[in-house]
Amino acid sequence: MNKFTTALAALIVLTGTPLKASESAPVSTAADGWNFALPAAQLELLCDATISAAAEAFSAIENDTASATLQRVYGAHDAMLLDLQAIQHVWYLKSVHPDPDIQAAAERCIEKYTDFAVSINLSPKFYQRVAAIDLTQASAAERLMVSRRLRDFRQAGVDRDQVTRDKVRALIAEITELGTRFDRNIREDRQVVNASARQLVGLPQDFLDSHPADSAGNIAISTDYPDYFPVMKYAQDDDLRRELLLARQNIATPDNQPVLRELIEKRHELAKLLNYNSYASMAMDGLMIGNPVHAQTFLSEIGVAATPPAANDMAILLQRLRQIEPQAKTVQAWQSSYLSNLVRQEDYALDALEVRKYFHFDQVRAGIFQLTQDLFGVQIIPWQTNTWHADVTAWEIREQGVAIGRFYLDMHPRENKYKHAAHWTLRSGLRQRQLPLSGMATNFPTGLMEHAQVKTFLHEFGHLLHNMFSGTQDWVDISGMSMERDFVEAPSQMLEEWVWDYDTLSHFARNAQGETIPRELVAKMNRSRHFGEAAGTAGQLFYANLSLNYYQREPDSFELLPLLQQLQAQYSPLPYVEGTHFYNNFGHLNGYSSNYYIYQWSRAISTDMFSQFRKAGLRDRTTANAYRQKVLAPGGSKPAAEAIADFLGRPFSTRAYREYVDQLK
């Protein structure tokens, strides 16, 4: 089941053309220190040995009686964290490694790692050492680092009695195990619907060619993204779309129902133990938004702006549906993507099947690399290192010939792999000490992509670049993406804007004949861009309110399904589909818990930041470098609001986003 290869097996030049032997691109051969072929048993031994050594080092830090200085306390602490990086990749392995035994070993290691990390925040001795540090000569970043660490100590309950601290540690161990089980159930439950050739009328030819019928004439359509989205968008058969949506929204059902219920209960118990009113209050403490009241206020403001244009979007879709079903009263969830595509074809003369011909995966990847090089003056070259699957490629970013970061791309679907799109920070960079390392995982086809998938690629690559460009700090606690968590989606959301820019697309969007995407086609894409956007925003507000309400209320005051139905009726433009249990496969209910509002909050930040590029030009390197240096490079060395203000020349405001949403009507 394991297949390992080097990045040389898939060397591609930045035009997307396979390399010839005589024109090989430069290749980095630096070792990365991880052996992805390590058997599960040895991975467990490595995990245990690494954590054991870290525990011994931490004990020495706790019991040090020398004068508490930054170097004495944080220097030793950083050294311990750097040694722990021998197993830092287990979060990525559990999601992308093809061997289930290694995934299971990685999950067990995560639980041990998390328990050790919790013990650090619950150590009164370490708390006292940090609190005793003389900050007279410290920089502003170092003072912020220490103050945040002291806040984290108090939030964790370090100043509580031993019985309470033991209960906190036990609860977090339970929460970690429940979250792991929740994610695993989603990852492992791949649903398949059998379709006939007649039901697939409307699908592009390359999709049909890659889905042959079996001997009985059945064509297997999975709930994985490369199958799901094309069928929902192009298939004329309403019954097939409904059946596939039912399968998709019932992934991990019923297995995750009790898991999610217990996860919510345990998190609430932890929050109450630490004197918070709810887990949402605990999860938002220290973030930009501050507390659930502010989060709800923000969501309500955007909701007020989104409601009229979303209703207009749905009225247009219903009018189009009535041409097919004259008696239709409501647009259903399995119909919205299909109808939206028809409206774009008929009202905006935009043929999505024509658009996708210009977005082959290899060219898209090359184009995103080229955009990065053009904006930031860097070079991306293949990196020769071991990986975990033949599909995986590895890359290095260089600036003026010097490596500044490395990353893996695991971009295509396979059995038992993470089902969505995400970025993992495998290692944060430290100035002159170590390079940042990232991993991406998506489920894109190897051939033609939808334009929306290109947008997703850019989104996740925005996270990756954030990690690559933030390796400029001296301390682990403020390196990488260590700022407030409700800022981290903003850079990736802003980068999505380039997918609508003709000058950017013209560098790589070419069809099979090598013809560049026509300017008029991109103009049509932009004219139709905002149709349905308000309805999509309303859908995101539903998800955010679901996330908030599951973790804001007393757990025994609601049931999962009735509350989902209530909130969907209140916020979503699409009605609840009977028989579905979306919450069982809404992975963010584990990872983001109450804080799915982050996507809308970050959208407000990204809209404000993008105003600088809109004024200067999307490919203006001066603006791009100012953004890199003022927003990305600081990492967690200053508050996110301060970094944003440095770039904008004024404080961040949500006004631009509210006005943007309002004008969609």
Question: Domains in the chain, start-ordered, CATH in brackets?
Answer: 40-159 (1.20.1050.40), 190-249 (no CATH)
DSSP state of 375: H
Please give the C-alpha separations between residue 112 and each of 46, 53, 106, 181, 259, in angstroms, as whole numbers. Answer: 12, 13, 10, 15, 20
For residue 95, give every residue at least 6 positions away whose Cβ sits within 8 Å of its Cβ, in sequence order, or none.
Answer: 103, 183, 187, 417, 418, 422, 424, 441
User: pTM of the predicted model, to two decimals?
Assistant: 0.92
Q: How many residues does the chain have?
A: 665
Rounded to 5 degrees, φ, ψ at 349 are 55, 35
Token pair listed for 34? 């991880």
- Predicted local confidence at residue 20, as pLDDT: 30
Question: Is the separation of the CB atoms in 392 and 446 below 8 Å?
Answer: no
- Predicted local confidence at residue 27, as pLDDT: 74
Cα–Cα distance for residue pair 463/442, rounded to 1 Å: 13
Strands 437-441, 422-427: pairing kind:
antiparallel
- Predicted local confidence at residue 25, as pLDDT: 52
Residue 236 CA, distance from chain mean position? 31
Token pair listed for 11? 């060397």
- Predicted local confidence at residue 34, as pLDDT: 86
Token pair listed for 202? 């409307």
The per-residue DSSP string of 66-134 comes to S---HIIIIIHHHHHHHHHGGGTTHHHHHHH-S-HHHHHHHHHHHHHHHHHHHHHHT-HHHHHHHHT--
HSE-up of 440 (CA within 13 Å, CB side)? 29
Q: b/e map of 449-475 (b: 16 or more CB within 10 Å)?
A: bbbebbbbbbbbbbbbbbbbbbbbbbb
Strands 393-399, 402-410: pairing kind:
antiparallel
Average pLDDT per 10 consecutive residues for the chain, totaling 665 residues: 26 26 54 83 97 98 96 95 94 96 97 96 97 96 97 94 96 97 95 97 96 96 95 98 98 98 98 97 97 98 96 98 97 98 97 97 98 98 95 97 97 93 95 94 96 97 97 94 95 97 97 97 96 97 98 98 98 98 97 97 97 96 98 97 97 94 88
Token pair listed for 529? 């861009």
- Predicted local confidence at residue 16, as pLDDT: 28
- Predicted local confidence at residue 26, as pLDDT: 73
pLDDT digits (tens, 9 = 90+) for 113-140: 999 999 999 999 999 999 999 999 999 9
Residue type, 425: T
Closest to 567 (Cα-Cα) out of 556, 224, 552: 552
Residue 446 CB: number of other CB atoms within 10 A?
A: 14
Cα–Cα distance for residue pair 250/193, rounded to 1 Å: 13
Question: Is the separation of the CB atoms in 233 and 352 below 8 Å?
Answer: yes
Closest to 365 (Cα-Cα) out of 390, 402, 406, 394: 394
Closest to 607 (Cα-Cα) out of 480, 533, 442, 497: 497
Positive or negative CA dihedral for 637, 639, 645, 647? positive
Q: Say if residue 639 is preceded by a cis peptide, omega within 30 of 0.
A: no
